[in-house]
Structure 1
Amino acid sequence: MKRYPGYQRKPFYYETDKMGIIHHSNYIRWFEEARVDLLEFLDYPFEKIEEIGVMVPVLAVSSTYKEMVRFGDEIIIHPTISKYTGTRLNFEYQIINQATGAVATIGTSDHCFMSSETSRLIHLKRQHPELHELFMSYYTLKTDEDAE
């Protein structure tokens, strides 16, 4: 399994505020775009997750702004799985300005897995072992690379 190279993006003008910088609300959207792209990269897109009857709601999200991102900047967003338990999935994000290499924003999002039929919490290892194995393998890949 290969490591996700990141989600490249160029901000749109409509995402800026009156000061010409990206409005803070857009970073949360960008986190979601990067998560969705990561699932595509892992060949298990959201559509497939929904088809098997799994919902992945957001429980919490945070964002810390370190440097401004402006219209015209090219950024790369690196989502990493920071925790996976089979019932919970947490991500950390880094938004990096590609021209300078500076970390512009860091963030987190916490999720759980629910049945779309019952709206109850599910454990992927029992109910969807293929998806469990995918998340576990990718999470372990991150852990193994960090140990090197």
Structure 2
Amino acid sequence: MARNAQIDVAVQFSETDLMGVAHHAAWVTWLEMGRLALIDGSGLPYTEIARTHHLSVVSVSLRIRRPLVFGDVARITTVLDNVGSRKVCFAYELHHKHSGVLVGTGATEHVCVDLEGRSSRLPDRVVAALRHEPAQPR
């Protein structure tokens, strides 16, 4: 399962901390941006999924290997790591766009919940879109 997406994100001044480097909270937002690019690129935009379900974040890991500063551009590659019946996992690599240096890695795990927040199976259309397979009716 090698589904992936790439986006470029420029570090904004408001995303930097007192030391002048991108704050770790900004990195988590960038992971979300990469994840949404992958999901939207699957042919089933997240706005469509969100009409009946959400992919609730249950785990985030982030390793910042090198700092980014205002004006740097990160190229974020998001990979669909695993799709289960109720869970989706993504892996991330962040490279400095101009030097190509790996600046960070991350992973997120999500469980499917319905609009009331109850655990739910991933809808077949979501699984099919993420895997790029035709949806199979149950």
Do the structures match in fold with TM over 0.5?
Answer: yes
Aligned to 1:135: 130
Which is strand-richer, 1 or 2?
2
1:29-108 equivalences under 5 Å are: 29-51=29-51, 53-108=52-107
| Contact 2:72–2:96 (8 Å) recurs in 1 | yes
1:99-135 Cα shifts (integer Å, max 9, x gaps): 1111101011110111114x322222xxx22211122
SS in 2 for 1:36: helix
Aligned to 1:17: 17
Give the letter aligned to residue 42 of structure 1.
Answer: S
CA RMSD of aligned residues (A): 1.8
Give the letter aligned to residue 84 of structure 1.
Answer: V
Give the letter aligned to residue 126 of structure 2.
Answer: L
| Contact 1:62–1:109 (8 Å) recurs in 2 | yes
CA 1:45–1:71 in 2, change beyond 3 Å: closer, same or farther?
same
Instruction: Please report the TM-score for the alignment, with normalisation by the length of structure 1.
Output: 0.82
Number of equivalent positions = 132
Give the letter aligned to residue 67 of structure 1.
Answer: R
Aligned to 2:136: none
| 2-structure distance, mates of 1:3, 1:60 | 20
| 1-structure distance, mates of 2:24, 2:53 | 30
| 2-structure distance, mates of 1:3, 1:136 | 7
Instruction: Please report the TM-score for the alignment, with normalisation by the length of structure 2.
Output: 0.87
| 2-structure distance, mates of 1:63, 1:4 | 18
Q: Extract unaligned runs of 5+ from structure 2.
A: 134-138
SS in 1 for 2:126: helix
| 1-structure distance, mates of 2:3, 2:50 | 24
Which is helix-richer, 1 or 2?
1
Higher relative contact order (CA 8 A, sep 6+): 2
